[in-house]
Chain A
C-alpha cells in the first residue's frame, strides 16, 4: 500500500491489517507513555483545501503520537482561478521535505490525481475529497462496528471481519463521501449494507451497488433475518440548504428519515442475533432534531465519542503502515 485514496482499493487483508494495527495503537493510548517513536524524523503535512477542524486535529494527534513532525497547511479558497494551483502547492510541500500528505479537498478525485501525478513522491492520504470518499472515516467506523460486533460475542476483535453484520446507512447518500467509503469497506469486510434515503438523495446507478435500497426508514428498521439492523449509521443532512429541492421540508425529512424518539425506542427494544442492542453511529457533527433526536444523540447506544477516539487510532495505523512501507515494493 503506497497511498490511501479509496476504500474500494483495499483488500480484505489490507483492511484487517489496518484495523488490527489500530487496535494496537488504541492499546498504546492506555499506557503510561502514550507516544511512540515510530515516525521520528518523518514529516506529515495536513493539506486542507476545505475547513474541517475535527479531521485535521485527529490526523494531527495521530501523527504526533507517532513522533512525526506535523505541518498544517490551510489552502482554503485556493483554486486555479484564484491563486496557487494544486500542483504548485504540492511541489512546495515536497520541497519542504514532506513524507506524507494528508489532503482534504473540495474536488472529488483530487487525492487520486495527486497520487497519480509526478508532482510528488509523498504518500497521499485522502482525508475527504469532494463527494467521493473519506476512507479513514470508514475505517474508524469499521473499527467501532467490529469492537461492538465481537464484544457481543465475547470474541477478540483482532483478525475478525464483519461477516453477517447488517448495517443501515441513512441519509444523503448522493453527496456523502462517508457513505461511499463505508459501503465499499463494509462489503469487503463481509457486512450487509442497506441504504435508506429519499430517492432524490440516492445516485443514479445505485441499483448496481452491492447493497439493498430502502425509501422507508421504518421498513428498513424492521428488515433482515433478525427483524432489525445490527447498526444504524445516520448521515448529516443539510436540511436548510436542501429543503424544497431534494425533499419538501426539514420537518418532513425528520418524520420520514430521522432517528426520532419513536424509532430510538424501537432500536432499544431490538436485540441482534448476539443478543445485543444495535449500535448507532454518526460521522459528526450531529444536527440534533434533524436527522437524529437529542435522545438518540445522547443514547448509550450511540458510539459517536468512541468514533472520535477510534479516529486517532485508525489514522495512526494508516500513517504507520504507509510511511514505514513507503520505500518498499509491497511484496
Chain B
C-alpha cells in the first residue's frame, strides 16, 4: 500500500515487549518476517540496512489521542512540522491534534488543512480532532458529519480545553456521533465550579492563596456523562482523568457495561500540587496537578484497566506565556518527548505494569478507540511496520532545550528519567535513528489511506 524509497531494515536482536531477543525484518512498510526467517528473507532483498538492537526493546509505535499542535494560528508555540518531529522523537507513530487551534478545527476545511500538513511533514501520522461545538463555544454543534466525511475522516470529536458542559448539548453530541461511528472526548470541567481556578483546591491552594479547582468539578461531569452515554448508547472518552474520585466513577461505569474509555497524562502520573509552592508557572496545567493520593489512584487505575490509555496533552507554549505571574500564565505542559520515560518511571519501574500492558496503554488501546487499522497492531509478520526501539536501561536528564518541540515548558526539566527512544519506524521508514531525527517518510499524496 505504501511505496517508499525506504530500504528494508533488518533489526538484529531486539526484544519484542521485553521478551526473548529476535530479528525483525521490515520491508515495504510491513513487518516481513521475524525470528529465524528474518535473516533468510533479508538475503532475498537488496540493500538491506542492518540495525544492531541488542539490549533494546521493540514496542508498537505509540499513539497519542491528545496532542496540541497549535497550527493553524499559534505557529509561534508549535507547528504541525515541529510537533510531528517531537512526536517521532518521543516514539509516537500517530498523534491526534486537538481542535483548539485558531481558527478552531470545527469545519472540514480546517481539519483537512491539519491533516495535509501532517502528511506533508512525514514524521508521524497526524489525525485532526474535530470540535464538538462551533468555536468551542459550547452552544451549537459543529458540522461533525462534514468533518467525518472530509479527507481527514475525523472520528474523534472534542472541545478540549473547554468542557461541553450543557447537558442537553452533550447528550445530542453523543447521539449524533453515532451516525458517523465517532466518539466524544470530554474535557471534564464544570465551568462554574472552576471560575478563575488556578490550581488544585486543597491544602496547598489554601496556603498559597490561589483560587482552587476542586476535584468535584471533574468528577461531577464524568458522572453525568457516563450516565448520558449509557442512556443514549454512545461511545464516550474521558480526557486526562486527574482525580481518585474520577477513577472510581469510571470503574463503576465500566462495571455497569457503559462504553466509556479513559485517559491519563504522564504528568498526572508523576507530579503533585506540592510543586506549585514555588509559583513556577511551568507547573500550571489544566486539569491541575493533584495530590499524592490522586497520583496513586491514577497509577492503579491505569494498571488495572480502569484507565485505558496514556494521552500526553502535549501543550507547548511560547516562553513569555510562562515567564509571568502564575495567574497570568498559560496552562499546559509539553509531553511528547518525555511520555515514555515518565510512564516507565511511574508504571514499569514501580512494578505496576509489564511491557505488554505498556504496549496496550500507549499504542493498542488508543488505536482501538479510534478504530485505526494500521496503528497499535501486534509485532507480528504481516503487520504494518509502526514500531519503536527503546533502551529501557539508560537514564537521561531532561533538557527541554534539546527538544524538537518548540515548547520549552517541560515540568520534568532537570529530572533524571529512565528509558529512551532509540528508533522510530513509521511504515517501515526510520524517522528516528540512534535517538535522533533521521528523515521523514516521503510519499505521494494520493497513496495514504489512513483509516479503514
Direct contact of A and B (CB under 8 A): yes
Name the CB-closest residue of B to A6: B207
Q: Is the CB of B209 within 8 A of A130?
A: yes
> Is the beta-carbon distance between A203 and B320 smaller than 8 angstroms?
no
Asked if A208 meets B203 with Cβ closer than 8 Å, knowing A112-B278, A133-B209, the reply is yes
Complex CA gap A133/B321 in Å reads: 24
Contact residue range for chain A? 20 to 34
Given the known interface contacts A109-B326, A112-B278, the answer about A206 and B208 at a Cβ–Cβ threshold of 8 Å is: no
**B205–A105 CB distance below 8 A:** no
Chain B residues, CB < 8 A from A11: none
Bound-state Cα–Cα, A129 to B198, Å? 15
Give residues of chain A (124-183) contacting chain B, Cβ–Cβ below 8 Å: 129-133, 177, 180
Q: Is the CB of B279 within 8 A of A85?
A: no
Q: Establish whether residues B323 and A85, one from each chain, have CB atoms under 8 Å apart when the complex forms.
A: yes
Q: In the assembled complex, which residues on chain A have CB atoms less than 8 Å from the CB atom of B278?
A: 112, 116
CB distance from A56 to the nearest CB of B (A): 20
State whether the Cβ of A33 lies closer than 8 Å to any Cβ in chain B.
no
- Contacts known (A80-B320, A108-B279, A205-B203); A113 close to B209, Cβ less than 8 A: no
Question: Given the complex, which residues of B lie within 8 Å of A205, measured CB to CB?
Answer: 201-207
Per the bound structure, the CA–CA distance linking A113 and B328 in Å amounts to 13
- Asked, given contacts A79-B328, A80-B328, whether A113 binds B206 with beta carbons under 8 Å apart, the answer is no
Establish whether residues A109 and B324, one from each chain, have CB atoms under 8 Å apart when the complex forms.
no
Interchain pairs with CB closer than 8 A, number = 81
Q: A201-214: contact bitstring with B at CB < 8 Å (1 yes, 0 no)? A: 00111101100000
Is A107 located at the chain interface by the 8 A CB criterion? Answer: yes
Give A247 to B199 CA distance when docked, in angstroms. Answer: 24
* Cα separation A18 to B320 with both chains bound (whole Å): 37
Which of B201, B209, B320, B321 touches A108 (beta carbons < 8 Å)? B209
Q: Is the CB of A109 within 8 A of B208?
A: yes
Kindly supply a per-residue 1/0 record for chain B positions 311-336, scoring 1 wherever the CB is within 8 Å of any chain A CB and 0 otherwise: 00000000011011111100000000
Contact call B212/A105, Cβ cutoff below 8 A: no
Confirm or deny: A87 has a beta carbon within 8 angstroms of a beta carbon on chain B: yes
Name the B residues within 8 Å of A130 (CB-CB): 209-210, 327
Q: Which of B201, B210, B325, B327 has the most CB of A within 10 A?
A: B325
How far, in whole Å, are A108 and B209 apart by their CA atoms in the complex?
Answer: 6
* Residue in B closest to A110 when the chains form the complex, CB atoms: B325
A106–B280 Cα distance when bound, in Å, is: 16
Contact with A along B388-430 (1 / 0, CB 8 A): 0000000000000000000000000000000000000000000
**Which listed residue, B201, B204, B207, touches A180 by the CB 8 Å rule?**
B207
Q: Is the CB of A180 within 8 A of B279?
A: no
Per-position binary interface string of chain B over residues 177-216, scored 1 when its CB falls under 8 Å from any chain A CB and 0 otherwise = 0000000000000000000001001111111111110100
Q: Which residues of B contact A108 (CB under 8 A)?
A: 198, 208-210, 279, 326-327
Give the shortest distance, in Å, between B204 (CB) and chain A (any CB): 8
Q: Is the CB of B206 within 8 A of A80?
A: no
Q: A85–B324 contact, CB under 8 A?
A: yes
Closest B-chain residue to A49, C-beta based? B325
- Given A203-B205, A204-B206, the answer on whether A109 and B325 have CB atoms closer than 8 Å is yes
CA distance A25 to B321 in the complex (A): 43
A109 in contact with B320 (CB, 8 Å): no
Question: For residue B321, which residues in chain A have a CB less than 8 angstroms away from its CB?
Answer: 80
A286 interface contact, C-beta 8 A = no
B residues 261-297 near A (Cβ < 8 Å) are 278-280
Chain A, 93-131, CB within 8 A of any chain B CB? 105-110, 112-113, 116, 129-131
State whether the Cβ of A81 lies closer than 8 Å to any Cβ in chain B.
yes
Do A177 and B205 have beta carbons less than 8 Å apart? no
A301 interface contact, C-beta 8 A = no
Given contacts A203-B205, A205-B203, A107 and B323 within 8 Å (CB-CB):
no
Q: Does A273 interact with chain B (Cβ within 8 Å)?
A: no
Cβ contact within 8 Å between A109 and B207: no
Q: How far is the CA of A132 from the CA of B325 in the complex (A)?
A: 13
**What is the chain B residue whose CB lies nearest that of A119?**
B323
Contacts of B205 in A (CB 8 A): 203-205
Give the residues from 282 to 327 in chain A that come closer than 8 angstroms, CB to CB, to chain B.
none
- With both beta carbons as reference points, the residue of chain A lying nearest to B326 in the complex is identified as A109
B324 and chain A: residue at smallest CB distance: A80
Contact of A86 with B by CB under 8 A: yes
A85 touches B320 (CB 8 A): yes
A residues 182-213 touching B (CB-CB < 8 Å) = 203-206, 208-209
Closest residue on chain A to residue B281 by CB atoms: A113
Cβ-closest chain B residue relative to A209: B206
- Chain B, 198-243, CB within 8 A of any chain A CB: 198, 201-212, 214
Cα(A203)–Cα(B203), bound, Å: 9
Q: Which of B202, B208, B320, B328 contacts A132 (CB 8 A)?
A: B208
Kindly state the separation between the CA atoms of A121 and B211 in the bound complex, as whole angstroms.
30
Known A108-B210, A109-B208, A131-B209; judge A116-B202 contact (CB<8 A): no
Task: With A204-B214, A209-B206 given, name 15 new contacts (CB 8 A).
Answer: A80-B321, A87-B323, A105-B325, A107-B326, A108-B279, A109-B210, A109-B325, A110-B279, A112-B278, A113-B279, A129-B209, A180-B209, A203-B206, A205-B202, A205-B207
Residue pairs across A and B with Cβ atoms less than 8 A apart, 9 shown, are A107-B326, A110-B326, A130-B209, A130-B210, A132-B210, A204-B206, A205-B206, A205-B207, A208-B206
B positions within 8 Å CB-CB of A: 198, 201-212, 214, 278-280, 320-321, 323-328
9 closest pairs, A vs B, by CB?
A: A109-B279, A205-B206, A132-B209, A107-B325, A203-B206, A131-B209, A205-B203, A108-B209, A80-B324
